[in-house]
Amino acid sequence: MGAYNAAMETLSERAALMRESMQKTQAITDNMVVILGSFDQRLSALETAMRPTQAIFSPFRFNNFASFRFHKIYFLSPSITEFQAEAKILRGPHEDLESYLEAVNQLRSIVKFFSGNKGFKSSIGVINQANNLLGKAIFKLEEEFRQLLTSYSKPVEPDRLFDCLPNSMRPSAGSPRGGETNVMKPSADHQNKNLEPVVYRLPVLIPARILPLLHDMALQMIQAGHQQQLLIIYREARSLAVEQTLRKLGVERLGKEDVQKMQWEVLEAKIGNWIHFMRIAVKLLFAGEKKVCDEIFEDNDTLRDQCFAEVTANSVAMLLSFGEAIAKSKRSPEKLFVLLDMYEIMRELQSEMDIIFGSKYCGEMREASVVLTKRLAQTAQETFGDFEEAVEKDATKTAVLDGTVHPLTSYVINYVKFLFDKLQYLIVGIDPFSYQSTLNQLFKEFDDGDAEEQLGAITTRIMQALQSNLDGKSKQYKDPALTQLFLMNNIHYIVRSVRRSEAKDLLGDDWVQIHRRVVQQHANQYKRISWSKILQCLSTQGLGPGGSGSFGDGGSTTGVSRATVKDRFKTFNISFEEIHQRQSQWTVPDSELRESLRLAVAEVLLPAYRSFLRRFGPLIEGGKNPSKYIRYSPEDLERMLAEFFDGKTFNEPRR
């Protein structure tokens, strides 16, 4: 009985323990239900927050517990991504720039994700850590950008720039290259080549494969707010490269004082080079730099325009300073053509300057270019006006002993012809060039009147000034016949040159006809002064009571003194020989005018001599030693007249 009771008591205790255990299990179950219910609410909130990104993972969405596991993994993935990005950042951008930039983008995504979900307990810590890492990444990226840009920002060699020019504008083979004082002209053999279009090719300043990398790095720095640092780095690297390129080419920063000290030949060469440098700088160097800048900063117009302006500002100022120095230097006639060349290149490049330097940050450069253009126009116009006065007041004492064309005449005429005559080019796209169109444009800069009419008036005054000066110079001759020959030669040279020049259209046909008559007047005056006295020797006047003063064959020789006839022949011989000796040293440089003048003299002299010889020659021929008096036959005189105006020297033998 006792054993039974003990067994029942043990069983009761066990039953009580089981009941207590079951009660605890129920409590735990109830707690788990509460916990799971709460967790389900949190998962719902998390799912709502992550809904924008769930579409990416829609194939992996499962129900119940599988969904819970996925969300737990997705919640941890930013941390994993951050860890991977950190490893790439620590390695630096130099070895694998593309992976480095990808890691920077991943860090930005992490910051963006947690910044939008700050309800997570660890969000602030993750954001801070990612931002710190991002700061380090951008600093390394900035250094890499500086190093990469600097390594590819080298000056362009002149030969590379010349190769980008049209063939016609490249320096000829064997000629001095950039940096030397040499006016760069089209190739000498270009005249023999086929016609070709004018094509400029932009130089490669930075390799095409490098530009996208610089662009991507610049974009990251801009997103990080490092625009100012980016501007400084870009300006330092690229501005130095542009300036060194121009120096290698031969560009110098020269002021007014430097220009004034130079010999004209040196200065003229430098001006010629400057014109080509301007074309190369604007069409090739600045245009190429603009293209590079546009590609690197295509996502930020403001920074792009700022960078380009700061890179080119000093180089533009260096180029324009030489033009300013020339425009402000002392005026002289020989500078007109180079001033017009400089004005023309500035006008030619103005539209491209407006495009390349079109942003508000380049406003000062555009304005400086316009100011220089107007200043060159003003100086050229004043120089052209000065030329008239310089011609009129020319006081050179250069003696033209033979009466030929005076150096002043040829200088002025060549000056005028060079201004108005067209220069032909064998280049497609370049019309025949004339300074007249440049002068017309120049006058329009300051006056709305008829520019061609103004040019015609100034040219007419220049011609009047030249003739006035020649009149003064002609008075230096003691022989009045030589005075007339000198004026005939010079006015004829002027008229002939004008008739063959575009200046004829400015001066007009009436001007030409009037001055042709002036030439004839001087020729007639020469004949009268030179030959009137000698023709008197061949006149019958004073030979006897029957003398009529004519040169005819008629009339008797009765009562004519043989001694008087001898004296006439003797006087004629002496006078003619003297004239021959003197005037064969005079010069009529124009062959047509020379023959015309000889013929005009022969038409007067030879008939008179033949007539006198036929009528009075027998009186001498019947006497003693006739050759002493009748030295020349008409053919001899004709031959000797053919030696007049050849400019022979005293010791030169007769032909």
Tokens matching residue 490: 């010079």
**Which residues pair with residue 423 across a beta bridge?**
433
Count of Cβ atoms closer than 10 Å to residue 168 Cβ: 20
d(C-alpha 85, C-alpha 329), whole Å:
64
pLDDT at site 42: 46
Task: Please check whether residue 376 is in contact with residue 454, taking contact to mean a CB–CB distance below 8 angstroms.
Answer: no
State phi, psi for 587 to the nearest 5 degrees: -130, 135
Residues with Cβ within 8 Å of residue 552, at least 6 apart in sequence: 540, 611
Task: Judge contact between 112 and 144, C-beta under 8 A.
Answer: no
What residues contact residue 415 under an 8 Å CB cut-off, 6+ apart? 333, 387
Distance, CA of 390 to CA of 384 (rounded, Å): 10
Give the separation between CA 200 and CA 315, rounded to whole angstroms.
21
> Which of 449-452's residues contact partners 24+ apart within 8 Å by CB, and which partners?
452/506
pLDDT at 97: 66
- Other CB atoms within 10 A of residue 261 CB: 10
Residues 604, 543: contact at Cβ < 8 Å? Answer: no
- Burial call 217-228: b when 16+ CB within 10 Å, e when fewer: bbbbbeebebbe
CA atoms within 13 A on the CB side of 125: 4
Going by C-alpha positions, the residue among 351, 348, 342 that lies closest to residue 372 is 342
pLDDT at 654: 43
DSSP 571-623: HHHHHHHHHHHHHTSSB--SHHHHHHHHHHHHHHHHHHHHHHHHHHHHHHHTS
Residue 477 near residue 486, CB atoms below 8 Å: yes
Give, in order, the Cα–Cα distances in Å from 150 to each of 161, 329, 451.
20, 39, 52
The amino acid present at 507, given as its one-letter code, is L
Blockwise average pLDDT, block size 10, the chain, 655 residues: 62 68 56 45 47 39 38 43 54 62 65 60 59 68 89 94 87 50 39 57 94 90 88 95 95 88 91 95 96 93 95 96 93 90 94 94 95 94 90 83 94 90 54 78 79 87 94 93 96 95 90 96 96 90 59 59 88 94 94 95 94 88 80 93 85 45
Written as one string, the DSSP assignment of 144-159 is HHHHHHHHT--PPPHH
Paired with 197 in beta bridges are 428
Q: Tell the residue number behind the tokens 């490049």, with chain if given.
A: 349
Predicted pLDDT at 99: 63
Residues 6+ apart with CB under 8 A from 348: 279
CB 521 within 8 A of CB 492: no
End-to-end CA distance of the chain: 184
pLDDT at residue 221 in the model? 85
298, 379, 292, 290: which is closest to 332 by C-alpha? 379
Q: What is the three-class DSSP state of 433?
A: strand
* 452 contacts: CB under 8 Å, gap ≥ 6: 440, 506
- Whole-number pLDDT of residue 291: 96
DSSP state of 94: T
* 597 burial type by CB count under 10 A (0-12 exposed, 13-18 middle, 19+ buried): buried
What residues form DSSP beta bridges with 433? 423
Q: Which helix (H) or strand (E) holds 37?
A: helix 2-49
